[in-house]
């Protein structure tokens, strides 16, 4: 089991067929920094979604309303964009989002430009244009890493971005791409929406997989690689 897990991670990081796309979602940039820095040399595209979107958008001068944001990580977000550009890695951020007037499945919603979220509203899911754009990037990819949802998928009204991403990854996998899903929330989403058998590998290693993606070689893994 562990050997399969390692082989899957190696397939993404070392033996990958290009183009390689990493989808990084979830709430915080801070929890993904290590991964982003480690994979910049190994991927062609990074799709950024979920709550950490808004740190990147605000850092670039966008208006994010009441959306989640790590103000102390805005410079870091700009550094990541700069580094990616220097390495020729294309970063894809949402262009529109589903905004809500409360963090609640039954809140009022509207689709707005990601750079222009009104005060009192917060982005809780990727919008329709974003879903089309992200699906297009996935369709061109031969190796896909999915770590983190694109919205608050636990609430049905904000699950569409994550489901559409899952569909795109399932389609690409059916066409021969290699797809690795890992990280608690992504694994939960994949199981909840029935994508488990439609992707190449679902990592249940959680933290261990993330450490591998951050470039930390774990002792047990080192032994197996030898």
The neighbouring-strand residues paired with 117 are 64
Q: CB count, 10 Å around CB of 193?
A: 17
| φ and ψ at residue 153, rounded to 5 degrees | -65, -15
Instruction: For the chain, give every domain's residue range.
Output: 2-220
Which ranges in 88-139 belong to alpha helices (H)?
Answer: 128-139
In CATH, the number for domain 2-220 is 3.40.50.1260
Residue 216 has pLDDT above 90, yes or no: no
Q: How far apart are CA 79 and CA 191, in angstroms?
A: 34
pLDDT in tens, 54-65: 999 999 999 999
pTM of this prediction exceeds 0.85 = yes
Residue 156 has pLDDT above 80, yes or no: yes
Q: How confident is the model at residue 182 (pLDDT cuts 50, 70, 90)?
A: confident
């Amino acid at each position: 089991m562990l050997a399969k897990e390692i082989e899957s991670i190696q397939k993404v990081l070392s033996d990958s067929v290009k183009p390689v796309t990493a989808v990084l979602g979830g709430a915080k940039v801070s929890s993904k920094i290590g991964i982003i820095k480690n994979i910049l040399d190994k991927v062609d595209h990074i799709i950024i979604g979920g709550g950490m979107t808004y740190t990147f958008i605000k850092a670039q001068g966008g208006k994010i309303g009441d959306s989640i944001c790590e103000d102390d990580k805005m410079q870091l977000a700009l550094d990541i964009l700069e580094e990616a550009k220097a390495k020729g890695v294309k970063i894809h951020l949402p262009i529109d989002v589903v905004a809500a007037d409360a963090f609640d499945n039954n809140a009022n919603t509207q689709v707005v430009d990601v750079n222009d979220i009104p005060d009192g509203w917060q982005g809780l899911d990727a919008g329709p244009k974003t879903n089309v754009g992200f699906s297009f990037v996935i369709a061109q990819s031969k190796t896909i890493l999915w770590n983190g949802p694109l919205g608050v998928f636990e609430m049905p009204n904000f699950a569409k971005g994550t489901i559409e991403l899952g569909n795109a990854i399932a389609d690409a996998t059916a066409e021969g791409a290699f797809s690795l899903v890992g990280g608690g929330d992504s694994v939960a989403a994949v199981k909840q929406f029935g994508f488990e058998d439609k992707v190449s590998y679902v990592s249940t290693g959680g933290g261990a997989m993330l450490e591998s993606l951050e470039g930390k070689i774990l002792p047990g893994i080192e032994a197996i690689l030898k």
